[in-house]
Structure 1
């Protein structure tokens, strides 16, 4: 068990370094040698955990999407009796600057570019998108069942929410002013409340 955990930890260390290097240098400028130097490992050891750079890229897509899902579908406290407060906290998390900057767009769009020409990468995008949708749907259905929101079509609400999150991420990419971004996010948050039939 410890051997397996250690193996996963090493893989994650490599993927985290790869993620940071892609964000800094761009995918095309990151070599296995640079990754090895960043994690203080010989290149041969990188190849022990990932047989080639393509496998490393697939690992990066997994790593990136796990980050995406944690940001775009924040966990809620199902035991919290203040369901309304929990809903507000959930939405605040979705529309925060901290959440938006968690995912580096340079990494994301580098992976998108690969997915456009690589079948396996494209399949990973589809799988993780579905995973995020399912988690959001469960959350929206919960708040709807609790009477916090009035939503006749929860699947439509999830789609609307995903589009809003993606749009805000794009906004932040071209807007360095975090205060201005939060104003825009707060506006969209109010639109979401209205769409979901939530009364503050």
Structure 2
């Protein structure tokens, strides 16, 4: 048990350093030697925990994708709190998304999915999971009369299409004022889709 715990800790430490190096130098320029140098260890130590860079990259992608689900972390939601929770959730989806990960590393990992079926499946599973989480929240809000949605499944899908499309486009905008203006517009479209009136 102790050994597994130590192994898990060491692997997480290596993955975090991999992420840090990839942020600085780009995923394609990152190597096991550079990660080892960042950690001040011998490359053989990394090979001890990860057979090769491919295995390490799979773990990095898992690490990045797990960050997405943090946005749903919350204790049990009371019925009287559902409305404010939904409003805050949409706000987080359109405000906190890009603070969870580095866009350059994320899109580099995403691009690997076009050549690697396992990576593609990981991203697909994440997207399905995110939609499922949002659908559960919308189901509760529907039952409580906070929203009136014919299909919570289709609405959850549409919200994530908005989120993904918004961040893809916003990643191309350098001007902060324009970025914030567009972000607010997209967030308001999501509120309108849910039939929520925000003052």
Extract unaligned runs of 5+ from structure 2. Answer: none
Extract unaligned runs of 5+ from structure 1. Answer: none
Matched, 1:159 2:157: yes
Which deviations, in whole Å up to 9, do the C-alpha atoms of 1:48-83 show, x marking residues without a partner? 111111101111111111113324xx3344334322
Cα distance change, pair 142–39 in 1 and its aligned pair in 2 (3 A): farther
Q: Distance in 2 between matches of 1:195 and 1:161?
A: 8
State the shift of 1:3 in Å. 2.6
Q: Which residue of 2 aligns with 1:59?
A: 59
Q: Which moved more, 1:80-89 or 1:44-53?
A: 80-89
**Aligned positions, number:** 197
TM-score, with normalisation over the residues of structure 2? Answer: 0.89
Q: Distance in 2 between matches of 1:145 and 1:179?
A: 39
**Structure 1 residue matching 2:173: 3-state secondary structure:** coil
Matched, 1:12 2:19: no
Q: Which residue of 1 aligns with 2:85?
A: 86
Matched-pair contact (CA < 8 Å) for 2:90–2:191: no
State the shift of 1:112 in Å. 2.1
Matched-pair contact (CA < 8 Å) for 1:17–1:39: yes
**Structure 2 residue matching 1:59: 3-state secondary structure:** helix
Which deviations, in whole Å up to 9, do the C-alpha atoms of 1:157-183 show, x marking residues without a partner? 111111111122223312234443232
Q: Which residue of 1 aligns with 2:50?
A: 50
**Structure 2 residue matching 1:149: 3-state secondary structure:** coil
Q: Distance in 2 between matches of 1:105 and 1:85?
A: 29
Matches within 5 A, 1:182-197: 182-197=180-195
Q: Distance in 2 between matches of 1:129 and 1:85?
A: 24
Q: Which residue of 2 aligns with 1:128?
A: 126
Matched-pair contact (CA < 8 Å) for 1:14–1:35: yes
